[in-house]
Chain A
């Protein structure tokens, strides 16, 4: 009987499909690792005093996927044993649905926790994805950080949060 090949899912992905925590974890699972931390970002029913009805996510997908690979490279520079996978969803998401799934695998848990935190902080700083918030009484584009991957102060702030 031929050996069954296990095809690893893509580590970096932007799509309209629902996210699956097990799938993002499987993308980084390796036998030398002792820990996988998964982070799932959810659509919340309130924001800045507004009652949120739903969110629409828009992405510049090719650059967003490249930003994920870049974030993983940055994380590997700080935590060489960590492997990251990042999946982000686009389109209309209801309250409670997952918008982003991150998995960080490492031989040791401390690095996996830190790298997953670093990844979500960096996504919010540089990844070209936007939330269009629909709330009771209106809608608004949420605008956070100016996307500049070479802004060293922003990178240092993300590292600081990851290590605190």
Chain B
């Protein structure tokens, strides 16, 4: 199935795109989508322990299951304010 991954800040720069389609097998989790993306862009691996995520514009866990067409956002550590 196909999910759309959105990337922000340094993660966006590493991947060279704000939005990336990622193919994952049925039953995949958010963490699986991250792993697939990090294989394409090894520099992302530096964020493996600090990244957080959202699915369809709600905070989620890396263990959350994905559905076809979901929008997954990966968030590097935040610095608003």
Q: Which residues of A contact B (CB under 8 A)?
A: 41, 57-60, 62-64, 66, 88, 99-100, 120, 123-132, 141-150
For residue B38, CB closer than 8 A to chain A, the reply is no
| Main DSSP-derived SS at the B contact region | mixed
Q: Are B57 and A128 in contact (CB under 8 A)?
A: no
Give A66 to B54 CA distance when docked, in angstroms: 12
With A60-B6, A130-B8 known, 8 other A-B pairs at CB within 8 A are A59-B80, A100-B80, A128-B80, A130-B76, A130-B78, A141-B10, A143-B76, A150-B59
CB-CB under 8 A from B22, the residues of chain A are none
A-B contact count (CB 8 A): 90
CB-CB under 8 A from A59, the residues of chain B are 80
Q: Are B6 and A130 in contact (CB under 8 A)?
A: no
CB-CB under 8 A from B78, the residues of chain A are 124-130, 143-147
Residue among B57, B76, B79 facing the most chain A CB atoms (10 A cut-off): B79
CB-CB under 8 A from A63, the residues of chain B are 54, 57-59, 73
Query: Which residues in chain B, 19-70, are within 8 Å of chain A measured between CB atoms?
Result: 50-52, 54, 57-59
Q: Are B73 and A146 in contact (CB under 8 A)?
A: no
Contact of A123 among B50, B58, B80 (CB under 8 A): B80
For residue B17, CB closer than 8 A to chain A, the reply is no
Chain B interface, number of residues (Cβ within 8 angstroms): 21
Q: List 7 A-B contacts (CB under 8 A).
A: A57-B80, A63-B73, A128-B8, A141-B10, A143-B10, A144-B77, A148-B59
Contact of A128 among B10, B13, B50, B54 (CB under 8 A): B54
Give A34 to B58 CA distance when docked, in angstroms: 35
Q: Are A130 and B9 in contact (CB under 8 A)?
A: yes
CB-CB under 8 A from A99, the residues of chain B are 80-81
Give A63 to B6 CA distance when docked, in angstroms: 12
Q: Are A60 and B79 in contact (CB under 8 A)?
A: no
CB-CB under 8 A from A130, the residues of chain B are 8-10, 76, 78-80
CB-CB under 8 A from B52, the residues of chain A are 146-148
Q: Are A60 and B75 in contact (CB under 8 A)?
A: yes
